[in-house]
Amino acid sequence: MDMCTTSSTDLRMTIAMWVAMSLIMMLPSALPMISAFGRVTRQLNPGHHRAAMMALFVLMYCVIWSVFGTTAGAAEWTLSGVRLIDNGQLQSGFLTGGLLIVSGMYQFSAIKNLCLSQCRSPLSFLLENYRSGYGGVMRVGVLHGLFCLGCCWALMLLAWVGGAMNLLWMLTLTILVSAEKVLGAGRFLKSLLGVTLLACGFAKIGATYFA
């Protein structure tokens, strides 16, 4: 009974950590979209409860990343149970290399390109998808969250490479995610990051194989 209780507590703590980490890392990159949403709402819904609409938009975005955090936290707890993750870091060189390669390949995928283009053009995204009323706000908030998730999920999972408990590594990932979505050179950064991840992944697998 004590072991089951401890295991359940560990699962809840791991999920809570991942949800909090996901929101802290992703909200800064969503600020341009949130700001644009505020401007569009002010113009298209004069006199309405704009503060409530803003809060609902952000809430829907957070819900999407909370679902991701819950899934990632459960996955980490499962992998920790079979000793493949310890303190938030993968313990297998082959798995680490494989994750780096998958993340690198995803940088060049059509889904990544589509989602990044939506995240990099807040005004265009909102003018195309904005709907009036609270139902419309919920829809556009969820849609933005899904595009953001499609853009960044692979980079977020790189937390397991440097360690989810490593604050410097998590700060680095946060900066990369934000820079890719906000900076004018974001598309170049996306490709450069993809090549770097692929190179690091193959190097990690090679080093593990010949060790």
Q: What token pair was written down for 127?
A: 């003018």
- Rounded-to-integer distance, Cα 147 and Cα 126, Å: 13
Q: Residue 35's closest CA among 122, 129, 118?
A: 122
Q: Strand pairing partners for 90?
A: 85
Collapsed DSSP state (helix, strand, coil) of residue 132: coil
User: Global pTM?
Assistant: 0.92
Q: Residue 53's closest CA among 120, 109, 135?
A: 135
When the pLDDT of each residue in the chain is averaged and rounded to a whole number, the result is 90
- Rounded-to-integer distance, Cα 203 and Cα 211, Å: 12
Judge whether residue 1 has pLDDT over 70: no
What is the domain partition of the chain in residue ranges?
Answer: 2-210
- Rounded-to-integer distance, Cα 81 and Cα 83, Å: 6
**Residue 47 — very low, low, confident or very high, per pLDDT cuts 50/70/90?**
low
CB 84 within 8 A of CB 90: yes
What is the per-residue pLDDT across 178-194, written as a single tens digit (0 to 9) for each? Answer: 999 888 767 788 999 99
Q: Strand pairing partners for 86?
A: 89
- Rounded-to-integer distance, Cα 165 and Cα 77, Å: 14
Residue 182 pLDDT: 84
